[in-house]
């Protein structure tokens, strides 16, 4: 596997371009390149976590509770925070699932840095988006990243490169977790 300069992930058994960097398989479903070093994350306060299995029990339990595929929850966490429960984004999103303070308040998440509370709140949020957008995963992920109001107003995925890249990254990771986890 490799990531080219545009950020796209390619699966290959040969390095087919000088623009393609190899990706090391760290453990099943987790790649070293898909971490903070990839440049995708931009946290003002990040401690990182290399243990992608640390929250698996909670992810599975909470996923069952709200009827959300645990592989999707894990893909969102991986993309949002790289499993860093103390992550804070430039815009103030917090914790594993990067809840904005207002969203955390609305979801009654009193401590967004508490992994269980954050996963529970983030999963309830993605469940509500899936319900709101008729189980359309792409629109729900767009709403998770850019806000449901913007997705509703534009009638689809907003023409925002960050949102488009976010959806692509979550879907790729979701596919891998679904196949390997």
According to DSSP, residue 88 is labeled: E
What are the φ/ψ torsions at residue 96 (nearest 5 degrees)?
-55, -45
Do 63 and 73 meet the contact criterion of CB atoms below 8 Å apart? yes
Just list the catalytic residues: 80
Alpha carbon separation from 70 to 6, 11, 41, 73, 126 (Å, rounded): 29, 24, 22, 5, 12
Do 20 and 4 meet the contact criterion of CB atoms below 8 Å apart? yes
User: Can you say whether the dihedral through the CA atoms of 113, 61, 122, 176 is positive or negative?
Assistant: positive
In DSSP terms, 25 is beta-bridged to: 31
What is the distance between the alpha carbons of residues 162 and 54, in angstroms, rounded to a whole number? 27
- Residue carrying structure tokens 């699966």: 11
Render the burial of 10-21: b for 16+ CB within 10 Å, e for the rest: eeeeeeeeeebe
């Amino acid at each position: 596997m490799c990531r080219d300069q545009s950020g796209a992930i390619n699966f290959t058994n040969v390095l087919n371009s000088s623009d393609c960097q190899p990706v090391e398989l760290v453990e099943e479903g987790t790649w070293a390149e898909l971490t903070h070093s990839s440049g995708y994350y931009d946290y003002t306060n990040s401690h990182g976590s290399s243990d992608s299995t640390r929250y698996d029990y909670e992810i599975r339990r909470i996923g069952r509770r709200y009827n959300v595929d645990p592989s999707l929850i894990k893909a969102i966490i991986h993309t949002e925070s790289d499993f860093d429960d103390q992550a804070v984004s430039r815009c103030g999103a917090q914790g594993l699932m990067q809840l904005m303070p207002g969203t955390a308040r609305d979801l009654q998440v009193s401590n967004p840095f508490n992994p269980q509370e954050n996963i529970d709140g983030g999963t309830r949020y993605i469940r509500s988006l899936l319900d709101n957008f008729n189980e359309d995963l792409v629109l729900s992920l767009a709403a998770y990243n850019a806000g449901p109001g913007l997705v509703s107003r534009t009638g689809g995925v907003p023409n925002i490169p960050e949102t488009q890249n976010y959806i692509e990254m979550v879907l790729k990771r979701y596919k891998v977790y679904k196949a390997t986890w």
